[in-house]
A and B are shown apart, each in its own frame.
Chain A
Amino acid sequence: MSVLVLIEPDDELALQAVTLARSLGGPVQGISIGPADAPVDVLHVAQVDGSYAPGAWAAAVVQLVERLAPSAVVAPGSDRGNEVLAHVAARLDLPLAANVTEMRGDEVTRQRWGGSLLEEARLGEGLKLLTAAPHAFEAAAGRAGATESFAPALAEADTAVRVVESVGASTGGISLAEAKVVVSGGRGVGSAEGFAVLEELAGLLGGAVGCSRVVTSAGWRPHADQVGQTGTKVSPELYVACGISGATQHIAGCKGAKKLLAINGDPEATIFAHADYAVIGDLHEILPAISAELRKARAA
């Protein structure tokens, strides 16, 4: 039996989902809504007109499932991947395991708490539905072996919810998700004004400023700056955590960083257990000293 993978064009997470699908054994077939490419044996391109409509995508997947009778359907662990597969699960009345990191037979390992905890679970009989946890798999490389086109039958209800307008982001500064350096502050920063020393260092390094949830809840920074399980997940070369204690929900957002430097007044702070480099002391003294040292080094 084959495995069916939901492919989104130019999506790294979809290529990671292909790797999970390959690990299940058997031929791997893909489904994309409109043109795409991915290293699957056969890519089925569904002809669905218009903007993104989760119900229409789910209808296309369900119709292909009926035709191919795969053993599993895998989607990327992206917002859309999780959404479309939950629609498929509701339509077929089947369980769905989201953010899977491994599958053996009918047992899966999946992420809880944004990856701070793993759950081993058993999926019942029949078709398995799973999404691949982001960055838990290498991206598969190559091109589709063959491409086939099909036109799913869509009911009116399938397209009742669809994107009616897409608005571009206001491009101000370096995006948190893409930044090579993130200088992030927590409760220890003490106030909105206190972030000036983080802004200064981030500016010198061409990086972005992030923060913890305590900071956004206090209204010191907008939620767009929040790093963590319910904020942005970042993967910079260097993450500088200043006055952040290291709660699991914060770490869930910055564990993708290549290196972590923690600056904290409490030598026992949990953040140090996640850090590559540690500086102990008051961030309000340390950050200006680092910025001054950087300027000095550049002038020399």
Chain B
Amino acid sequence: MRILVAVKRVPITGGRIVLTDDGQAIQTRHLGFTISPHEECGVEEAVRIVEAQGGEVVVLTLGPAEAEEQLRECMAIGADRGIHLVSDEEWDAQATAAALVEAIRAEAPFDLIVFGNESADAGNYQVGIRVAYALGLPIVTGLKGLVVSDGRARAEQETASGRDVYEVGLPAIVTVKEGLNLPRYPSVPAKLRANRKPVAAQAVGRPPSRLQKLRLVVPAGRGKQAEILGRGPEAAPAVVEIMRRLGVA
């Protein structure tokens, strides 16, 4: 099995999002970075499949030089190598998909290509689907369950009323959601090994955006001032009084 997972570096924003003065980006000077939990589950799933069936897991990202950190994190989970398309610019979903397609073609064939259902930040729900059309591969989205065997994938989506099941032949593309599995915490030796795994980096130029970001805006809060009901267990009667008023007690 050869499996490719596409991941994207995003800031860990914490309790409050602060923008740069020009409103073009999140102020990230004091922030750590990560990938979407969906994508982390994608990496874990790919590694488990290859651990069971043999093969190779390749992680692919388009992002700034610092995004190598995220490729290393994926390799600490167990991916074998990384492909890094290096660009400091922001790419729209169409351009992102086109760049990923080119990189995937250069490394083909893959049996399975894994995306997050939506990225953590921009969340346009579409890069995986665009790549599937460009490569002429079937795609199933939003998976919470995946079984790969005998050249086929059985894929499960969660719905309001239960689960929908799909079956596709490989090669195929899937987009996955957090909850698909519980990703491992990489061990220290795994992290050290990850530092020695190969990353192929290559600069890429961005085509013009067709969905053009003008500015970012932090939505106005609810402007609330919490009513303090008390400190410690002595607050219990006040809490129950509120619950009664809300009609939930």
CB of A152 within 8 Å of the partner chain: no
CB of A155 within 8 Å of the partner chain: no
Is there contact, CB below 8 Å, between B230 and A279?
A: yes
- Contacting residue for A247 out of B14, B244, B249, CB 8 A: B14
**Who on chain B is nearest to A213 by CB?**
B37
Given contacts A90-B129, A121-B214, contact A270 B219 (CB under 8 A): no
- Rounded to whole Å, the gap between the CB of A140 and the closest CB of chain B is 21
A245, B12: Cα distance in complex, Å: 14
Is there contact, CB below 8 Å, between B231 and A275?
A: no
Is there contact, CB below 8 Å, between A98 and B221?
A: no
Please indicate the chain A residues that have their CB under 8 angstroms from the CB of B221 in the complex.
273-274
Please indicate the chain B residues that have their CB under 8 angstroms from the CB of A91 in the complex.
133
Given contacts A230-B38, A294-B240, contact A79 B219 (CB under 8 A): no
- Contacting residue for A115 out of B14, B167, B210, B219, CB 8 A: B219
Please indicate the chain A residues that have their CB under 8 angstroms from the CB of B224 in the complex.
273-276
CB of B217 within 8 Å of the partner chain: yes
Is there contact, CB below 8 Å, between A86 and B121?
A: no
Please indicate the chain A residues that have their CB under 8 angstroms from the CB of B183 in the complex.
217
Q: How many chain B residues touch A (Cβ–Cβ < 8 Å)?
A: 81
Please indicate the chain B residues that have their CB under 8 angstroms from the CB of A120 in the complex.
213-217
CB of B33 within 8 Å of the partner chain: no
CB of B243 within 8 Å of the partner chain: yes
Please indicate the chain B residues that have their CB under 8 angstroms from the CB of A259 in the complex.
246
- With most chain B CB atoms within 10 A of its CB, the pick from A162, A238, A259, A293 is A293
**Who on chain B is nearest to A11 by CB?**
B160
CB of A147 within 8 Å of the partner chain: no
A119, B161: Cα distance in complex, Å: 33
What are 6 A-B pairs with beta-carbon distances under 8 A?
A94-B210, A112-B216, A117-B26, A119-B215, A166-B164, A229-B120
